[in-house]
């Protein structure tokens, strides 16, 4: 007989009778809900590896196994005062609502408690099966559960409903989605952060993440790692240790066995967006290769920017290579005028890069207003410093423009977005011969001609930016992109206004058509400006 630690627990509602009324009067909390809806906690739990076990058994043993699983899941729900809303051979959906004798709602506590007990029961069942020789080599039997508190329509079923209730609504679907999240991350129990908060410390939390909902909003999710004793509990500490050990063993088995429908390509079947270790605050942009989100790391600290690329069949190999290359390039650099990068990883069907967040936006936003001479020269020097740093390690940015120059809160500037950057020593090219990469207003003549590039192409782009910062105008204007490219190749370097004539030679050294006549690096420009007393 398997051990049931909850049977020895005196500090919880494990032996509470099943609630008889799920009408709105017994479930509603102090929050606005749709007419006909109630607020409750929903648990969805599913056994993985269930079908393989059944197929390995004879018909009588399989029937007994299905009965045992049903009893196990149903009893866990009943012990914590829940109601069954849906029951399938390998899964259960349960509802935990307010009970008439409760002074304050604790259905979040009971729902999480039930999920933890379900994991413990499933682990003991899996251990009993694993001891039988003819089950060797089968996918391991594990469980994943999702728990969410929210509004849904809950009502008693009619005749033939076997005493079950009917539950539909967003909260139900979120609970199901959280089970998929637990499956993808090899967690045992995933819950929404709000549900854990409502449980008032009854469940210990581990790792965190954010999951997207169908309306593109996000909810924070938390890994449940254990049950916390109530104040004054008389339950032996070993009981809570056993529950925690079961949770850990279940997730370790999940990792080894890679069970679940998403094992071959995590996240693909779930169809949801999930980044573990971060709370996604909001979406702040969309690029050609990646979506951009503002997020908070589980480790704390200031907000970070997540550049996220979905891994699916529509992503070309060179696109993923370029995305990962951006991290590899930036990770080498530690310079005040280069954006800091913190991490590159993969999470449930996505690759992502965690980067520094710039609350003041980019240089283009700053350039909407006139920039005084001293500030313009300061920006030019900072750009030169950042370029000097990347050129020193053999990196060419190739897309220097105001949108890729970010401003920190203190006003300092940093180079960012190395999505088309290329290390000079790399043998693999990420564009076809003759392809133009970059923004036409800031392209160098060699880029316009589709020729190989080096650090001097970035110096040309810096010259275009310097002209725009000093005069408020771009150096070249044309009716079409082709005409603009022609001007980059053939038009003379424009003259600066009289108040900036002392910088004309600097501009000539940046925007020379012949790259041999340009500043070879950011440091040489800084040296020249220093000699001029700037």
Whether residue 481 is predicted with pLDDT greater than 90 in this model: the reply is no
Asked whether the beta carbons of 263 and 193 are under 8 A apart, the reply is: no
Residue 99's pLDDT is 77
Cα(98)–Cα(92) distance, integer angstroms: 20
Q: Which of 96-100, 256-260, 309-313, 530-534 has the highest mean pLDDT?
A: 530-534
Note the pLDDT of residue 330. 73
Looking at residue 259, its pLDDT comes to 43
- In a 3-state reduction of DSSP, which class is residue 504? helix
**Domain range for 525:** 363-531
The pLDDT value given to residue 159:
58
Highest mean pLDDT among 209-218, 363-372, 423-432: 363-372
Q: Which residues of 2-19 are buried (b: 16+ CB within 10 A; e: fewer)?
A: eebbbeebeebbbebeeb
510 in Cβ contact with 460 (< 8 Å): yes
> Is residue 113 scored above 60 in pLDDT?
yes
Tokens matching residue 328: 């590899």
Q: Please, which pLDDT band fits residue 31 given cuts at 50, 70 and 90? A: very low
Three-class SS of 23-77: CHHHHCCCCCCCCCCEEEEEEEEEEECHHHHHHHCCHHHHHHHHHHHHHHHHHHH
pTM, two decimal places: 0.69
Residue 121: is its pLDDT beyond 50? yes
Give the per-residue pLDDT at 317: 62
Q: Tell whether the model's pLDDT for residue 395 goes beyond 80.
A: yes
Which sequence positions are flagged as catalytic?
Answer: 399
Residues 433 and 452 in one domain: yes
Does position 153 have pLDDT exceeding 70, yes or no?
Answer: yes
Res. 17: pLDDT tops 70: no
Q: Does one domain contain both 27 and 48?
A: yes
Output 60-69 pairs: Cβ under 8 A, ≥24 positions apart: 68/125, 69/125
Same domain, 345 and 370: no
Round to whole Å and give the CA distance between 375 and 381: 10
Confidence (pLDDT) at 162 = 64
Q: How confident is the prediction for the chain on average, in pLDDT?
A: 83
3-state secondary structure 84-130: EEEEECCEEEEEECCCCCCCCCCHHHHHHHHHHHHHHHHHHHHHHHH
Q: What is the total count of domains within the chain?
A: 3
* Residue 293 and residue 172 share a domain: no
Select from 290, 436, 461 the least CA-distant residue to 386.
461
In this model, does residue 344 exceed pLDDT 50?
yes
How many Å apart are CA 462 and CA 468, to the nearest integer? 10
Listed in sequence order, the residues at least 6 apart from 411 whose beta carbon sits closer than 8 Å to its beta carbon are: 360
pLDDT in tens, 171-183: 999 999 999 889 8
The pLDDT of residue 372 is: 95
Percent of the chain with pLDDT over 70: 81
Position 432 scores a pLDDT of 40
At residue 94, does pLDDT exceed 60?
Answer: yes
Residues 461 and 321 in one domain: no
> Residues 155, 222: one domain?
yes
304/360 Cα distance (integer angstroms): 14
DSSP string, 200-233: TTSEEEEEEEEEE-TTS-EEEEEEEEEEPPPTT-
Question: CB atoms < 10 A from the CB of 311, how many?
Answer: 18
Q: What is the CATH number of the domain that holds 287?
A: 3.30.200.20
Q: Which of 459, 458, 454, 446 is nearest to 525 (CA)?
A: 459
The residues near 402 (Cβ < 8 Å, ≥ 6 apart) are 362, 363, 364, 367, 465, 468
Q: Are residues 18 and 120 in the same domain?
A: yes
The answer on 324 and 371 residing in a single domain is: no
Where among 250, 274, 298 does a domain terminate?
A: 274
What is the dihedral sign for C-alpha 197, 199, 205, 208?
negative
The lowest-confidence range among 81-90, 258-267, 305-314, 451-460 is: 258-267
| Mean pLDDT, rounded, for 230-249 | 94
∠528-532-534 over CA atoms, to 5°? 95
Cα torsion 423, 425, 430, 434: sign: positive
Among 322, 356, 390, the domain-final residue is 356
How far is Cα 497 from Cα 480, in angstroms, rounded to an integer? 26
Q: What is the pLDDT of residues 423-475, one digit of tens each?
A: 554 332 334 444 444 568 999 999 999 999 999 999 999 999 999 999 999 99
Are residue 247 and residue 323 in the same domain, yes or no?
A: no
- Out of 248, 274, 300, pick the residue that ends a domain: 274
Residue 274 binned pLDDT confidence (cut-offs 50, 70, 90): confident
- Residue 355, classed as helix, strand or coil, is strand
Asked whether residue 331 falls in the same domain as residue 201, the answer is no
- Residue 396, SS3? strand
Model confidence at 269, pLDDT cuts 50, 70, 90, reads very low
More confident residue, 328 or 81: 81
CATH code at position 200 = 3.30.70.1230
| Confidence band of 278 (pLDDT split at 50, 70, 90) | confident
DSSP state letter for 475: S
> Residues 148, 87: one domain?
yes
CATH number for the domain harbouring residue 388: 1.10.510.10
Are residues 397 and 456 part of one domain?
yes
Q: Is the pLDDT of residue 145 over 80?
A: yes
């Amino acid at each position: 007989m398997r051990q049931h630690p909850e049977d020895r627990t005196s500090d919880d509602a494990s032996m509470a009778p099943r609630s008889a009324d799920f009408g709105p009067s017994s479930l509603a909390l102090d929050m606005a809900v749709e007419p006909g809806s109630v607020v409750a906690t929903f648990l969805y739990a599913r056994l993985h590896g269930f079908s393989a076990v059944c197929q390995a058994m004879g018909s009588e043993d399989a029937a007994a196994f299905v009965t045992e699983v049903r009893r196990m899941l149903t009893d866990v729900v009943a012990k914590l005062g829940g109601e069954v809303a849906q029951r399938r051979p390998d899964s259960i959906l349960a509802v935990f609502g307010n009970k008439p004798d409760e002074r304050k709602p604790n259905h979040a506590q009971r729902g999480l408690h039930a999920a933890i007990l379900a994991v413990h029961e499933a682990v003991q069942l899996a251990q009993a099966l694993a001891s039988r020789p003819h089950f060797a080599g089968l996918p391991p039997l594990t469980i994943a559960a999702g728990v969410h508190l929210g509004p849904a329509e809950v009502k008693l079923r009619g005749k033939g409903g076997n005493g079950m209730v009917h539950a539909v609504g967003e909260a139900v679907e979120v609970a199901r989605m959280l089970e998929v999240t637990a499956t993808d991350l090899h967690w045992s129990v995933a819950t929404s952060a709000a549900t854990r908060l409502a449980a008032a410390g009854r469940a210990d939390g581990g790792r965190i993440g954010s999951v997207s909902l169908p309306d593109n909003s996000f909810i924070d999710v938390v890994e449940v790692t254990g049950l916390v004793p109530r104040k004054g509990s008389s339950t032996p500490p070993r009981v809570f240790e056993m529950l925690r050990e079961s949770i850990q063993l279940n997730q370790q088995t999940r990792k080894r066995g890679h069970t679940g429908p998403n094992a071959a390509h995590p996240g693909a079947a779930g169809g949801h967006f999930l980044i573990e270790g971060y709370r996604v605050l909001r979406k702040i942009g969309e690029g050609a290769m990646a979506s951009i989100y503002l997020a908070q790391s589980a480790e704390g600290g200031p907000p970070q920017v997540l550049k996220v690329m979905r891994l699916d069949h529509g992503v070309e190999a060179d696109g993923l290579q370029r995305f990962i290359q951006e991290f590899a390039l930036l990770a080498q650099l530690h310079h005040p005028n280069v954006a800091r990068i913190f991490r590159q990883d993969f999470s449930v069907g996505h690759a992502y890069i965690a980067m520094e967040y710039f609350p003041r936006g980019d240089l283009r936003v700053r350039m909407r207003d006139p920039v005084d001479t001293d500030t313009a020269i300061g920006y030019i020097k900072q750009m030169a410093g950042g370029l000097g740093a990347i050129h020193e390690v053999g990196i060419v940015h190739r897309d220097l423009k105001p949108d890729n120059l970010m401003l920190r809160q203190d006003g300092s500037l940093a180079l960012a977005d190395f999505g088309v950057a290329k290390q000079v020593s790399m043998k693999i090219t990420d564009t076809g011969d003759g392809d133009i990469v970059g923004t036409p207003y800031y392209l160098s003549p060699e880029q316009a001609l589709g020729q190989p590039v080096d650090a001097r192409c970035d110096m040309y782009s810096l010259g275009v930016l310097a002209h725009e910062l000093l005069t408020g105008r771009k150096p070249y204007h044309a009716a079409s992109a082709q005409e603009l490219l022609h001007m980059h190749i053939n038009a003379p370097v424009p003259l600066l206004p009289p108040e900036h004539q002392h910088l004309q030679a600097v501009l000539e050294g940046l925007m020379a058509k012949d790259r041999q006549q340009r500043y070879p690096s950011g440091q040489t420009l800084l040296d020249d400006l220093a000699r001029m007393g700037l």
